[in-house]
Structure 1
Amino acid sequence: MLQRVAVIGAGAAGLCTARHILSRPNSFAPPVVFELTSNVGGTWCYDERIGTYDNGWPIHSSMYRDLRTNLPKEVMMFPDFPFDPQLNSFLPHQEVQRYLEKYCQSHNIRPHIRFSTVVEKVKPFVVTKEDKEKTTTWEVTSSDSSGFQKTETFDSVFVCSGHYSDPHIPDIPGMGNFKGKVLHSHSYRFAEPFSGQSVVVLGAKASGLDISIELAKAGAQVTLSHGRPRLTFPLPSGIQQSSPVVAIEDDGSIRFQDGSMARADVLMFCTGYNFSYPFLDGDQLGLEIQDHMVSPLYRFLVPPAFPSLFFIGICKIICPFPNFDCQVQFALAVLDGSVSLPPQAEMEDEVRRALHEKVECGVQRRHLLIMDQDQWEYCRTLAQTAGFSPLPPVVRSLYEEVWRQRQVHPENYRRINYRLISDTEWESQEKQRMCVVQTNGGERSAD
């Protein structure tokens, strides 16, 4: 009997899940994809509105008008679906949205998507058979745009709802005293309204840095407040750095960690997002769902107590589309029996040990799902275990090259275009520099 799978979300992770399910018609029935909005693309689907949709549901996308990718298309792409080679390496968000629409069309996914449909409840039902083997089915309750509610049963659920829609705003003493405008980057769309204003941007990761540069170019005076080592690369005039904000005084002025004070028209939080799954009962699933952490998840994917529920793309600082592709193929191999998971207790122990090792190394709890350099071994292990092709070495090599360029030229690194020559070679088209990945994992460059 074919397995029925529910997919929550029609962004990149949900489309990838649907594509791989449809490619296995002997094991799986066509998926049912539940999508909150009226479009595919998830966070890549730009919406100028902020707040809520007409139906009262919160605006999902955090995309701003002038965003360009901070990874080149050559490493962003799904491994089996390249971008148009005529495009520049670093793309405006509209091109990524078009790419996802083409991916959806190419694999005929759209007929399986229920648009403008919210998932309200996902509930497991465990049945113990005569031989004492337990099987789990899932009741998924959803509502469409007319308010019609429906409950259906599935063999498996893939949570692909992303984690860039519920803004995380840290607790700062005295916030109620601030006299100006307070917003999170989730509600930022373009820089022009901030021209001539003083803006304190909290957070200097990708969005904080990009938005600060946009604001400065539009004529805002920007204070980039962060707790990281001082940025040493050149920033545009109009941006100064400061230590973290620690309080807002009674008169509305801002106090920084180093004791300095400032006044501002705007506080802009570029402080990341919370994990939020209102349709799941964490306690029932044996999961602890917190702002920055969901645990335990075996291989960052599956709750040990319910190995037919999968979270796709939950890790941070990754090459997203290739990562999703590896996770989905591994998860489907679990469902079709190609991969056997360890017993529940063993999976829980492995997760506990791995997280404990990170904490022992000084990783803060809110950073435990940051993968960064661990992503390559992670994807390789998933591929090896499930028997699919691993990511080619050129993906890591080019990803790391762009990371280096970004540290040196945060304004200009996107001017370079790249071309993949083979699974082990890439070329920088501006510098005509070819990089060959050696089999020992090192690199040599030929200028």
Structure 2
Amino acid sequence: MKTVGIIGAGAAGLCALRHALTASPNIVPVIWEQSKVVGGTWVYTDNIDKDDHGLPVHSSMYKSLRTNLPKEVMSFPDFPFPAEGDSFIPHAAMLRYLQDYSQNFDLERHIKFEHVVLEVVPSKPGASDTEWIVTVRDLTSDKLTTTLCHALLICNGHYSVPYIPSIDGIENFCGSTMHSHSYREASPYSDQTVAVLGASASGLDISVELCSVAKKVYLCHNLPIPFPAALPSNLEQKAGIVGVKQGTSNTLVLKDGSELEVDALLYCTGYYYTFPFLADSCGVTVEDQQVWPLYRHLIHCDYPTLAFVGIPTKILPFPLFDIQVRFFLRFLTGEMSLPSCSEMHDDALAYHNRCLQEGCPPKQLHLLASKQWDYVAELARLANLPNIPSEVRQLYELVHGIRKYDLLTFKQKKFVIGQDGIYREM
């Protein structure tokens, strides 16, 4: 029998558990979740600091959040969303979906809730066939247990530890500062002038929401061109922030040399990849937002029984998780072989160099965007798995295009994918 450990019971961890339970009679999964419930980052809380056990709050949900993708493309392949209702759903509906997924596949009885993983150590450091010694604390009893796992899936997510860039003189800034991880609602910014740094999904959505109560919102970013959609009249795009004017000040200095006087600064600058439970002997490094060394953004090149689910960004999350998990399990069950460790290293390095040659900044190594389709197709081909349906890709790309030019109203649209495999706007 092979004990397969899973860290985290968010979307990726639930998917890993669901497939591990049916992959082989010889696989026995064990999964640890530090909270009391399933759902991971989709579990909203008003808390912004510590949870009931004094641990940092994991979720980055804010009250009004609705998905930027329609539910018609977001489901796991074997568990569709209910057809009725809106396409762009609030976080509570997404959490209900994950709860229903867990109930449908009878997952919760396998989950060790309120258990936090403290340390992961290879049993045979340097050996590719190592097993994993996992030390866990039961948060209700404070009891420590150790489990030896044949393989381990890391599903702890990467939207919980805020990345805050260095800004010269920020210690002199007199206004309020906050990262979007701690943002819950707009009311604290009523009648204020607010600078939002970062124009990815959260930066755009939160900026628009702030405009309903703020006097003025500046969306500061380093995109080569302004975001093309129509924006609220009190929202203005500006260059990225590089400093605070010398002396105690509310004045921000921008990359183009201009200045802004604001009451508040909100960082929408993303998150770190963090694995605080991995011992140094696991041989995992995170530098400049690159998790290394990973074969196909997933499997440790030196220790192929260690997998990291959900590392890529700007992707269709749940379908990608599903294929990553089943790809790894095909290897564990012997239905598929992997290249040698040296070949996986060569593959990872070649991908890294190719990205650099294409002008991709090192910190965007895991950003897939349009490359996600080839990535998923290759995993599916190698593991003999069904690929993401073409109509799902088509709808994803349609919505991506609509959102770019219709940021304010695109979430009002409703889509369906019919039995004929064609999506339609309702």
Q: Which residue in the other structure is 2:318 paired with?
A: 321
Q: Is the 8 A contact 2:175 2:262 kept in 1?
A: yes
Aligned equivalents of 1:177 and 1:399: distance in 2?
43
Equivalent positions of 1:378-393 (< 5 A) are 378-393=375-390
Q: Is the 8 A contact 2:23 2:329 kept in 1?
A: no
Q: Which amino acid aligns with 2:31?
A: V
Q: 1:230-268 CA distances to partner (integer Å, 9 max, x unpaired)?
A: 123210121111101111122321111122112211110
Q: Which moved more, 1:146-155 or 1:351-360?
A: 146-155
Give the number of aligned pairs. 422
Q: Which residue in the other structure is 1:72 paired with?
A: 70
Shift of 1:291: 5.1
Shift of 1:27: 3.1
Equivalent positions of 1:322-337 (< 5 A) are 322-337=319-334
Classify the secondary structure of the residue corresponding to 2:276.
coil
Q: 1:212-247 CA distances to partner (integer Å, 9 max, x unpaired)?
A: 000001234211100111123210121111101111
Aligned equivalents of 2:400 and 2:76: distance in 1?
20
Aligned equivalents of 2:306 and 2:420: distance in 1?
33
Q: Which amino acid aligns with 1:40?
A: V
Aligned equivalents of 1:287 and 1:422: distance in 2?
44
Q: Which residue in the other structure is 2:229 paired with?
A: 233
Q: Which residue in the other structure is 2:158 paired with?
A: 163
Alpha-carbon distance change, 220 to 190 in structure 1, aligned in 2, over 3 angstroms: farther
Aligned equivalents of 1:291 and 1:51: distance in 2?
26
Q: Which residue in the other structure is 1:266 paired with?
A: 264
Higher relative contact order (CA 8 A, sep 6+): 2
Q: Which amino acid aligns with 2:132?
A: W
Shift of 1:134: 6.1
Shift of 1:384: 1.4
Q: Which residue in the other structure is 1:436 paired with?
A: none
Structure 1 counterpart of 2:181, from 186, 199, 216: 186
Structure 1 counterpart of 2:372, from 372, 375, 386: 375
Instruction: Output the TM-score relative to the length of structure 1.
Output: 0.92
Q: Which residue in the other structure is 1:416 paired with?
A: 413
Q: 1:56-78 CA distances to partner (integer Å, 9 max, x unpaired)?
A: 21000000000000000010000
Aligned equivalents of 2:383 and 2:156: distance in 1?
24
Q: 1:16-62 CA distances to partner (integer Å, 9 max, x unpaired)?
A: 00000112242312x21111111110001101100111322100000
Instruction: Output the TM-score relative to the length of structure 2.
Output: 0.97
Task: Determine if the alignment matches structure 1 residue 248 to structure 2 residue 241.
Answer: no
Aligned equivalents of 1:284 and 1:349: distance in 2?
21
Shift of 1:144: 1.4
Q: Is the 8 A contact 1:199 1:222 kept in 2?
A: yes
Aligned equivalents of 1:339 and 1:405: distance in 2?
40
Structure 2 counterpart of 1:338, from 335, 338, 346: 335
Q: Is the 8 A contact 1:394 1:423 kept in 2?
A: no
Equivalent positions of 1:293-304 (< 5 A) are 293-304=290-301
Runs of 5+ consecutive residues of structure 1 not aligned to the other structure = 430-447
Q: 1:360-414 CA distances to partner (integer Å, 9 max, x unpaired)?
A: 1111111111011111111111111111211111111000000000011001111
Q: Which residue in the other structure is 2:108 paired with?
A: 110
Task: Determine if the alignment matches structure 1 residue 136 to structure 2 residue 130.
Answer: yes
Q: Which residue in the other structure is 1:36 paired with?
A: 34
Task: Determine if the alignment matches structure 1 residue 125 to structure 2 residue 123.
Answer: yes
Task: Determine if the alignment matches structure 1 residue 101 to structure 2 residue 99.
Answer: yes
Q: Is the 8 A contact 1:392 1:423 kept in 2?
A: no
Runs of 5+ consecutive residues of structure 2 not aligned to the other structure = none
Task: Determine if the alignment matches structure 1 residue 206 to structure 2 residue 201.
Answer: yes
Aligned equivalents of 1:90 and 1:143: distance in 2?
38
